[in-house]
Structure 1
Amino acid sequence: MSGGRGRHFARLAQHLPGRRYGSTYRFCSGNAVRLFTSGAAYFAALIERIEAAKTDVALETYIFCDDAAGRSVSDALIRAASRGVRVRVITDGIGTQRLPLFADWQAVGIEHRIYNPHLFGRFGFSRTHRKLACVDDAYAYCGGINIVDDYDQNGTRLPFPRWDFAVELNGPVVADVRDAFDVQWERIRIGHRPALTRPAVGGATPQAATTRFVRVRRGARAGDMRALAEPCVAFVARDNFVNRRTIEKAYLTAIGQARSEVLLANPYFMPGRKLRRALIYAAERGIDVRLVIGRKEFAMLDYAVPFLYRTLLKAGVKISEYEKTMLHGKVAVVDSNWGTVGSSNLDALSLMLNNEANVVLVLHPEIDQLRQGILNAFNESRRIDEKHYEARPAGERLLNWIAYNTYRIAMKLLTVGGYD
C-alpha cells in the first residue's frame, strides 16, 4: 500500500466523523479485528467467547436455525445463563420460526425478543437482517453469517460451504455495536426509537477518535503506512429512523474516492440509480471494477438482475455470476485499503427497509484476505461477456425487462417511492 493512498483514505475517514446514533458514523482506532470466512470458524469463536462470558451476552440474528450449528450456539447461551450471565437474544419474526428451544431459553432466564413477529407489523414490512453479537462489552461480532449450518440451504445440502464472512472486534468499536443492540432491544419493547445517550468510548468524542485516525507522525517516511495512519474501524448501522441511507453512503463515498480498484460481492444486486452510477463512473475513469453476483436463490432476481448488466458492461464493469455454492457474503474492497463486511445486500430491502449492520475497515491487514477471497470467487464464477450478453434471445430479453420492472414497481410500493 502506497503512502499516497494511505493519506487518501485517511482523508476519506476525516469526511465521515459521525455522531452517536446520528445519520453518519465514526471511525476509531485501537481495535483488533479477526476475519471469518465460514460459519464453522465463526461459531467456534463465538461459542468460545460465550463460554468465557462473565456478565453479559447479546445476540441478534435474522435466522436462528434448530440444526447442529444452532443447537451448539443455543447450548452455550443456556450454559451462560445458568451460571448467572445476562443473556439477551433478538430474532426476526419471519427469518426465524417459533422454535422448541425458545422454551429452553425461557426456563434458564434467557431474555428473548422477536422483531416484527408478523409480515406487516408495527415496524411495517421491515425485518432485522443484522447478524450481531456482543460479549461482556469486550468482543463484538458483525457480518453476514446467520446461525445456520454452512451446508444447509432451505433443507437441501449445498455442494460446498456457504460463501460468507463475519468479523470479531475487540476495542473501542465494541461500544458502538453494543449501543446498536441496546437501541434495538428497547425499540422492540416500546415500538419506536429510544433516546439512549451512552458516553463516548474512553471519554473521547467522535471527532477526537477521527483525529487519532488521521494523525501523521512527524518524520515518517512517505512509504511508511503504519506511520502515516492507524488502522481504523467504523460500525455502520441502517434503520428507518435516523440512519436511513448510512450503508449506501458508505459505499458511495468509498467508490467515489477509488483510484485503482473496486471489488464487490453481493448475493442480491439490485441497487438504486446512485450506486449503479457510482460504479459506472468509476469504470469510465479507468478503475478496475469487478462484481461477483450470487444466483439460484430467488428466481425473480435471477431474471431481473441481468437487466442491469448492459449499462455496467458498456462502461467497462467486469461481472461474474457465482454458482459454485450459495454466495451469501456482502463484502467489498476498494484500493486494498478500504473494506466492508456486513449483512446489507445491495437491493431495495436492505438499503431502504431492513435493519442492517456493516463494519468498515480502513488500513487493516485483514483487508488483504478479504480482497483475495473476492478475487478467488470472481475467478471461480461465470464471466458475463458483453457480446454474448447482447446476443441473448428476444424472449430472454423480454423476460429480463418484465422481471426487473415488476421488482422495481413492487419495491417502490414497499418503500413508498424511496427506491429509485
Structure 2
Amino acid sequence: MSTRGAGRFARLRHALLGRRYWQRYRFTSGNDVRLLRSGDEFFSALIGRIDAAQQDVVLETYIFCHDKAGQAVSAALLRAASRGVRVRVITDGIGTARLPMFNEWPVAGIDHRIYNPHLFGHFGFSRTHRKLAVIDDQFAYCGGINIVDDYENNGERLPYRRWDFAVELHGPVVADVRQAFEVQWRRIQLGHRPLHSLQPDLGPQTSASLGSLRRRRRRRNEELWAGGRPCVAFVARDNLINRRAIEKAYLAAIGQARNEILLANPYFMPGRKLRRALVFAARRGVVVKLIIGRKEFKALDYAVRFLYHALLRAGVQIAEYEKTLLHGKVAVVDSNWGTVGSSNLDALSLMLNNEANVVLVNDPSINALREAILDAFKDSRRIDEAHYESRPAGERALSWLAYTSYRVAMKLLTVGGYD
C-alpha cells in the first residue's frame, strides 16, 4: 500500500472508531464535578451530604463491609432515616455478606434490596458492580470505591490506601444517575421481566421516533464536544439496552485520540476491539500508557501478560502497579476526555455485570486525574519489551494457558459474546 493510501486508510479507520460508537448516553453541560481520591475523601463527602439530606437518599454498591467505613456510612443512613428521609440501598448478593447491620435497617425505615442473592439467580451470573449514590436529586456519586476501609483487602492490611477514585456530581447529570438507580430498583422488585416493563414510561413511541431521538442526542453530544464546553455523561452498562455502552465510550475516545491515552485498570482483559483500538492509536503516533494492577488474582496476573506482546510491539507503554492495591478504573485521552467509574476492562465488566462510569469532556477535573495517573505510572514497574520477550518457556506456557482458560470460560459465560 502506498504512503498516501496508508494515510487515507488510517484516517478512515480513525473516523470510524470516532463516530460509530456514539451510544445512548447523553452529554449535559452546566455540571459541577469534584474528583475524589481514595475512600477518605469519598466517605467524608458522602456522609456529609447524607447528613444534610432532607428528602431522599439512594445508594447502590457491590461491597458493603462491616468495618469502620461501613459502620460510618450505615450510621449516616440511620440518622437520615430517623429524620424522616426516605433511604433505599441496593447491595450485591455475592459482593456483600449478610451483615448484622442489615437487621437494623428495616426497623429504622431503611429499604434494602439485594441484587441477585445467589451466584446464579433471576439475572443469571451478572452482578451489580456499580458504586452509585444520589442525595435529594441534587448530588450524585459514581466511581470505583466500595463501602470498605481503604486499607483492608480480604482480611489483609494494605501498606498504602487503595488507589481509587470517585466523582461528586451536581447538575443535570444527576437525573441520569437517579434514573439508572430507579430502573435497577424496579428490576429487583419485579425480577427478570420483559424490557418494556423496566424502561421509563416514554409514552407512545414508534421505532422512527426513537431513532430520531437517538439522532438528536448524537448531534447534541457532538455539538457539545465540538464547542469546547465542559460536559458530562453518565454511562451505565446493563443487560437490557446498554450492553456495550461503556466499551463503546472507550472506543469513541481512543479512536479520536491525537496525542495521548492514559489508562489505569486493575483487571485488564478486554476483547479484541479495544485492544486493537489501542494498537491502532499507538501505531499512528499517539502516546499510550497503560497501568495494570497486580497481585490480587494470581491466575489473572499470568493471563494478562499474554496480551503484552502485541501491545508492546505497537509501542504501548505498559507498567505494573504494585505499591498498593490498584482499584481505580480511570482513563484520560488528550487531556480533554476522562472517565471514572466501576467498570473493569474485562469480560465480566464489559459483558455481564451492571456497571457505571462518568465520562468527562473539557472538564477542569480532568487535569487532576491526568496527573494522578502519570504519578502512578512513575510509581509502577515498567515492562521492558526485550526482557518480556526473553521470558523462560515455562512462564510463557503458563501465561498462554491462563489466558486460554480465561477466554474459554468467559466465552461460555457470555454465550460467545467475549472475543
CA distance in structure 2 between the partners assigned to 1:124 and 1:78 by the alignment: 32
Letter in 1 for 2:120: F
Aligned to 1:404: 403
Q: 1:392 is matched with which residue?
A: 391
- Specify whether residues 304 and 133 from structure 1 end up closer, same or farther in structure 2 by C-alpha distance, changes over 3 A only: same
Following superposition, the deviation at residue 197 of structure 1 comes to: 3.0
> 1:273 maps to which residue?
272
* Distance apart, 1:241 and its partner CA: 1.0
Counterpart of 1:187 in structure 2 is 187
Partner of 2:306: 307
Q: Deviations over 1:124-181 (max 9, x none)?
A: 0000000000000000000000000000011110000000000000000000000000
Matched, 1:262 2:261: yes
SS at 1:114 equivalent: strand
Q: Contact 1:337/1:364 (CA < 8 Å) preserved in 2?
A: yes
> What CA distance in whole angstroms lies between the structure 2 residues aligned with 1:170 and 1:365?
14
Q: What amino acid does structure 2 have at the position aligned with 1:341?
A: V
- What SS does the aligned partner of 2:306 have? helix
Aligned amino acid, residue 295 of structure 1: R
Separation in 2, partners of 1:164, 1:413: 31
Q: Structure 2: which amino acid aligns with 1:410? A: A
How far is 1:195 from its partner? Answer: 2.4
**Deviation, structure 1 residue 215:** 5.8
Letter in 2 for 1:116: N
**Would you say how many aligned residue pairs link Structure 1 and Structure 2?**
390
Amino acid at match of 1:414: L
Q: Identity percentage over the alignment?
A: 71
Q: Which residue of 2 aligns with 1:196?
A: 200
Deviation per residue, 1:87-119 (Å, 9 max, x gap): 000000000000000011111010000000000
Flag the 1:407–1:319 CA change in 2: closer, same or farther, 3 A.
same
Q: Which residue of 2 aligns with 1:112?
A: 112
Query: Is the CA contact 1:160–1:324 (under 8 Å) kept in the aligned structure 2?
Result: yes
Match of 1:330 in 2: 329
Q: CA RMSD in A?
A: 1.9
Q: Distance in 2 between matches of 1:334 and 1:14?
A: 16
Length-normalised TM-score, structure 2: 0.90
Distance 1:280 1:74, change over 3 A: same
Distance 1:408 1:211, change over 3 A: closer
Partner of 2:45: 45
Find the counterpart in structure 2 of residue 321 from structure 1: 320
Are the structure 2 counterparts of residues 157 and 172 from structure 1 closer, same or farther at C-alpha, using a change threshold of 3 Å?
A: same
Distance 1:15 1:34, change over 3 A: farther
Q: Could you say if the C-alpha distance between residues 323 and 286 of structure 1 is closer, same or farther in structure 2, counting changes exceeding 3 Å?
A: same
Query: Which whole-Å CA distance do the structure 1 matches of 2:215 and 2:330 have between them?
Result: 27
Whole-angstrom CA distance in 1 between matches of 2:295 and 2:108: 40
The aligned runs of 1:59-70 (5 Å cut-off) are 59-70=59-70
Which residue type is aligned with residue 292 of structure 1? I
CA distance in 2, matches of 1:207, 1:45: 37
| Alpha-carbon contact 1:27-1:233 (below 8 Å) kept | yes
**Residue identity matched to 2:32:** A
SS, match of residue 307 in structure 2: helix
1:229 deviation in Å? 2.5
Q: Which one-letter code corresponds to 1:55 in the other structure?
A: Q
Change beyond 3 A, Cα 1:15–1:361 = farther
Contact kept, 8 Å, 1:132 with 1:143, in 2: the verdict is yes
Give CA-to-partner distance per residue, 1:341-393, whole Å, 9 cap, x none: 00000000000000000000000010000001111111110000000000100
Helix, strand or coil at the partner of 2:330: strand
Name the residue aligned to 1:175. Answer: 175
- Segments of 5+ residues of structure 2 without an aligned counterpart are 1-16, 204-212
In 1, the alpha carbon distance for the partners of 2:416 and 2:119 equals 20
Number of the residue aligned with 1:219: none
